[in-house]
Structure 1
């Protein structure tokens, strides 16, 4: 008798996070102290507090120090400026939303570039959209990417959706991906990152669909965006190898009947955007990504500390060379 059970493999975020944590632990071995991450909580949103507590727990369990500072939102700007200049603080994370307006965007921009573990500073966002992957001309210091979009990238790498035979930066060539959500925090950055890595991405929002690609044959250095007039999920989903959804509403569900057989489905919303029936169509289903996002946050913090150590070493080397030059000339 044939086995009627679905062949879909459910992959939990915890398993993916473990492999990334190994990389973080290895990097910490070369640092003689526990990096300090300071979180600022000025929001009454219960989800923000849960995220803050989760961050603290993960930090303390994995060789980092975490300090939560609960600050009145009207005093947050000054608190951030103080943390920027505090040499004991290695990284800063702010739990949004706070004002729920452009004022939040302003707060994102005053966090020091050298402490922005969320990758929300203008320089990092500019680099991400322009497909500039390093901060220095020698390509030794990698730019910081926003945590949730990067978590999805790391999940796709873990699932081997990325083709490692292809050159770095082109490894999604030939993949078609639908991203349902075009928020400035997750959806649009994710579509850009995936397209910059070579994928054809359909970015689906409430009112329209946009296509992100680097052109035929990946001829362009960075992604370009074109509107798809009249397109809906009915056009995108049957074409997509991967479907990533993050609609923050319990009423929304991805139409399972439109999914391509064997699609990879990833949910990054706090609400389940996929019905249980997704397992009858998908080959792989990742129901949540939160634990990967937290580890990516630690990975970003580690990278910031490593960049700082390298800069200090380079500065010391320059001083020593200048001193030697003076001694030689005298």
Structure 2
């Protein structure tokens, strides 16, 4: 008697290289509208091998997609002057700085001196303020200049769009309504902005870090214009993860592993850490698992650069228009 066929796998593993192809094809469409290749300059002022690897990946992706990329290695003492010089250099279209450099408030200062018109990472005060306030344009009345969003949070969102977590039947800005999402990381660079963006799009978000749990929502029935944050005293990851249909992790330590017994059946799991936050057993509970997002983050970086160029232009040529597909975060409606 023939052995029965094995049960089909219940978890679909989605690799970032499959997600990134569509994004890069849109980027290439945008570059074709320009008179010359966009020029991105990266500043490296640390000895972090991960930062160097990220720079090398960025250079490779730029060159493959019609962009120019220059890596400028400098000392901590010279980084401020180097950024200020690039701000006024007409040959430089976008600036990325590889942090941490000082690993203190001085890094925050450096983020603020990058010209807002060249801030490809969306880390300057104006962009961060607008993001948290759910203001999506630099010019809200005319709506010509769209805000730049931080690359890694936006990469997570592009992945959720690709996975159809965003419901395009719902109105723009409300397309995560009905979803409950857990974000395990509340760093100021990725975790907190990501929780805010997801909540501003209508989700109920549980933001978890070592200090506890916070709940990000736009209030009951998502009636508020922007998200609000409530501290959930005494709550832990084990209390909120089972409630969530999407779990996103970004814990940098190599010893951290998400306890997959906390997952609800069929949850969607995304890891944006450079470490493997989920063990192989995640496939026994999750319906979809995205193990890494690095390639998507670089594609988003290039999309942001096209957006900066478009914001500076006053003619009808819109290099970022190719990235504004119906149903996406960038679309008008």
**TM-score grouping bracket, smaller chain normalisation:** over 0.9
The 5 A counterparts of 1:255-270 are 255-270=259-274
* Structure 1 residue 235: Cα displacement: 1.1
Closer/same/farther in 2, CA of residues 254 and 72 from structure 1, 3 Å limit: same
Q: Which runs of 5+ in 1 are unaligned?
A: 314-330
Aligned positions, number:
313
Corresponding residue SS for 1:173: coil
**3-state secondary structure, aligned to 2:174:** coil
Partner of 2:232: 228
Given the alignment of the two structures, is residue 101 of structure 1 paired with residue 107 of structure 2, yes or no?
no
Question: Distance between the aligned counterparts of 1:82 and 1:100, measured in 2?
Answer: 22
Alpha-carbon separation, structure 2, partners of 1:17 and 1:141: 25
Which protein has the larger Cα radius of gyration, Structure 1 or Structure 2?
1
2:6 matched to 1:3?
yes
Structure of greater relative contact order (alpha carbons < 8 Å, 6+ residues apart): 2
1:91 aligns with 2:89: no
For the residue of structure 2 that corresponds to 1:211, the secondary structure is: strand
Mapping of residues 283-302 of structure 1, within 5 Å: 283-302=287-306
State the alpha-carbon separation in 2 of the partners of residues 153 and 3 from structure 1.
34
Give the corresponding residue for 1:77: 80
Q: Are 1:29 and 2:26 an aligned pair?
A: no
Normalising by structure 1, we get a TM-score of 0.93
- TM-score, normalization by structure 2: 0.92
Structure 1 residues 158-216: Cα deviation after superposition (integer angstroms, max 9, x where no partner):
00000000001000000000000000000000000000000000000102100000001
Whose helix fraction is larger, Structure 1's or Structure 2's?
1
The Cα of 1:5 is off from its aligned counterpart by 5.2
Gaps in structure 2 of 5+ consecutive residues: 318-333
Query: Counterpart of 1:195?
Result: 199
| Alpha-carbon separation, structure 1, partners of 2:314 and 2:26 | 19
**Runs of 4 or more above 6 Å deviation:** none
CA distance in 2, matches of 1:26, 1:6: 37
Correspondence 1:277 to 2:281:
yes
CA–CA separation in structure 2 for the residues paired with 1:96 and 1:283: 34
Task: For residue 307 of structure 1, report the CA deviation from its aligned partner.
Answer: 1.3
